Structures are given as C-alpha cells and as structure tokens.
Structure 1
Amino acid sequence: MTADDLGAWLVKGNADQTDLAGRFARDPSIRSWCVQPSYRTALMRAGQPVVFWASGSRAGLPYGVWGVGRLDGEPQRDEPGGGLWVPLDLEVWPPDRRLRREVLRADGRLADLEVLRQPQGSNPSYLTTAQFAALREYC
C-alpha cells in the first residue's frame, strides 16, 4: 500500500464485541476512532476519505460498509504511550443504506478488498483508488 494508490482508509469496528448498532442509532456521528500504529498511520492526512466497516458474525446485522467520511486531522495520542486515534468527520448511514459484505464480495472490482481477504488484519485497512471508485457507485 502506498500513498499514490490510496483511494480511502478503512477503519473497523466489531459489532459482536460492542453494540455498534445501538450506539449509531443514538448518534450516527463518528468524530474519532482508534487505530493501530503502523507505517499506514504515518500516511494519514486531513481530508483523505475514510470508510467505516462493521465486522462481526451474528445473524441479522448488515456487516460491511456503514458509512463514508473524511479524516479531520492526523492521528493523535491522548498521552505519551497512550492509544492512537484519528479525528473523523463521518456519519453512519441508516441500516437500510448500509452495504453488506456479501454484495461487495460479489462485485469483481471489490472482491479482493483487504478487509475481505484478511478480516483480522490491520486497522486501518485501505481501499485502492480503483476500489474506492467502485464503492462510490454504491453510495
């Protein structure tokens, strides 16, 4: 992954471990999200697109893309040695608008998304420019 081929960042939340559906029903705004330090976080800049991905395995929830927004700044730490987070400007979509992972897997342009190939992978993950262009067609 390089900055030249970055279409969008993808941040993940596990809807099996946290009540994401309930949280976003009360307030669909995401103003910050935790990420893991890596070479990727060093490439994150204000204004870059961000995709929110809800992961999980319980039946009934539309796991997949729940919203698209933008980075509102560079990664931050609350204190030295503390966790890393990114400021976001992102609104989670209503449940009937969310893009299920099965739909994305069925689209040849999106079937090889890193989050589908390596669901336990890095947070943040990413979409290439071509993948993000294909995803925008669904939005």
Structure 2
Amino acid sequence: MPTVTRSDLGAWLLKRAPAGWDGVPGGRLVDDWCVVRGYRSRLIAAGDPVLVWVSGDGRRVPRGLWGLGQVVRAPEVDDLPPGRQPAVRVDVPLFAEPVPAADLLAAGVDDLEVQRLPVGANPSFVSVGQAARLRPLLP
C-alpha cells in the first residue's frame, strides 16, 4: 500500500461490510469506527474529510460510496491498552442514493486503494487528485 502524507490526503475512506450495515440513504452516520493502529491512524485529524464505502457483492446493498462527511475526533492510538483497537469518530451525511462501484468504473475512476485492494484494513485513503476526480460523481 502506498505511503500516505497529509499533503496528498484528499479524504480518508472507511470500509464497511454489508453484513450488519444499517445505513439509510439520506440518513446520517455519527459513529466510532475502528481503525488499525499504525502511522495512518496517527495522521487522522478532526475536520478531515471521510468517505464511507460499503463492500460486498452488491446483492444486499449497493457496493460503493455511501456518504461524505468529516472526522469529529481523531483516534487515540498510542495510549490504548494492548489488544484494543483505536476508533475514529465520524459524522457522515449519507447520500440520497449511493454511488455504485460500477458507476465509478464507468466514469474512469479505477485506481482507488479500495478498488485495488478491497480487503485492506481501515483506514484507506483517497489522494488529492482522486478526490478531485470523484467530486463531480458525488451527489
């Protein structure tokens, strides 16, 4: 996975499996989201943009982007007891209609980390350039 820097960060991308997903299009997601302890989670800051991606095969819910919001509270990474995962607090208004992964591919967006490495751990990221190409596709 590529190294992320603050200067190239367009948005964090948090993935969610469709099992147990209860997001409602047009709703709002205010939640704590587990992230892997590491240099990426140390880079997360309040106010950073965050995208929500629901994975899976698309049978239960559409696979793709479900919302765009922001980080409310950065994760505590270094002061957690062993075995406890850090969590980032997010506030994400969900789109009225998710943006399906197929629509992103049809628009030529095929280089997101979540597309290249769908089983990667949270947080994933979107570069500044990728975010600029995504913006016109988002509601």
TM above 0.5, one fold? yes
Give distance in 1, aligned partners of 2:132 and 2:32: 24
* 2:5 equivalent in structure 1: 2
C-alpha deviation, 1:93, in angstroms: 2.3
List structure 1 runs of 4+ shifted beyond 6 angstroms: none
**Paired AA for residue 111 in structure 1:** D
Q: Note the alpha carbon deviations across 1:73-100, whole angstroms, 9 max, x for none.
A: 2113795232211011112223xx2100
* 2:111 equivalent in structure 1: 112
**Number of matched pairs:** 132
Contact 2:48 2:70 in 1 (8 A): yes
Contact 1:34 1:86 in 2 (8 A): yes
Give distance in 2, aligned partners of 1:8 and 1:115: 13
**Paired AA for residue 15 in structure 2:** K
2:91 counterpart (84, 89, 92): 89
**Paired AA for residue 39 in structure 2:** Y
Give distance in 2, aligned partners of 1:72 and 1:131: 23
Contact 1:32 1:88 in 2 (8 A): yes
C-alpha deviation, 1:103, in angstroms: 1.0
**Paired AA for residue 85 in structure 2:** G
* 2:59 equivalent in structure 1: 59
- The TM-score with structure 1 as length reference comes to 0.85
C-alpha deviation, 1:64, in angstroms: 0.4
Question: SS of 1:115's equivalent?
Answer: helix
Give distance in 2, aligned partners of 1:32 and 1:7: 21
In structure 1, list runs of 5 or more residues that go unmatched: none
**Paired AA for residue 124 in structure 2:** S
Contact 1:105 1:116 in 2 (8 A): no
* 2:15 equivalent in structure 1: 12
RMSD, matched Cα: 2.0
Give distance in 1, aligned partners of 2:88 and 2:114: 19
Contact 2:13 2:126 in 1 (8 A): yes
* 1:75 equivalent in structure 2: 75
Identity %: 36
In structure 2, list runs of 5 or more residues that go unmatched: none
